[in-house]
């Protein structure tokens, strides 16, 4: 990883939070979904998506520059997931 890439990832992390947090959210949602399914009497049990946080990032707050455009692109990819 180049210094420029590391800097871009650091800025990305400053905007959306730790990249590891997304995995933590997924693990917590998986546990919540498992428990909810175990106690559900419904024919349509909850999905893991029901327990994942819905996060939208405001990209307009990022300064306009070439590096900011790279970060904006990363954030937009993250928001599409």
Who wins on pLDDT, 77 or 28? 28
Q: Distance between terminal CA atoms of the chain?
A: 24
Residue 60 has pLDDT above 90, yes or no: no
**C-alpha distances out from residue 62 to 8, 15, 81, Å:** 12, 9, 20
Q: pLDDT tens for residues 2-43?
A: 888 888 888 877 776 666 667 788 889 999 999 999 998 888
The sign of the dihedral angle between the CA atoms of 10, 12, 13, 19 is: negative
Full-model pTM: 0.47
Q: What letter would DSSP give residue 61? A: G
Q: pLDDT tens for residues 32-47?
A: 999 999 998 888 889 9
d(CA 3, CA 23) in angstroms, rounded, equals: 25
């Amino acid at each position: 990883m180049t210094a420029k890439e590391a800097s871009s990832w650091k800025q990305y992390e400053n905007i959306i939070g730790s990249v590891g947090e997304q995995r933590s959210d997924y693990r917590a949602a998986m546990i919540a979904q498992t428990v909810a399914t175990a106690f559900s009497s419904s024919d349509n049990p909850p999905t893991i998506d029901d327990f994942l946080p819905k996060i939208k990032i405001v990209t307009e707050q990022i300064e306009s520059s070439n590096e900011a455009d790279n970060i904006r692109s990363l954030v937009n990819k993250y928001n599409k997931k």
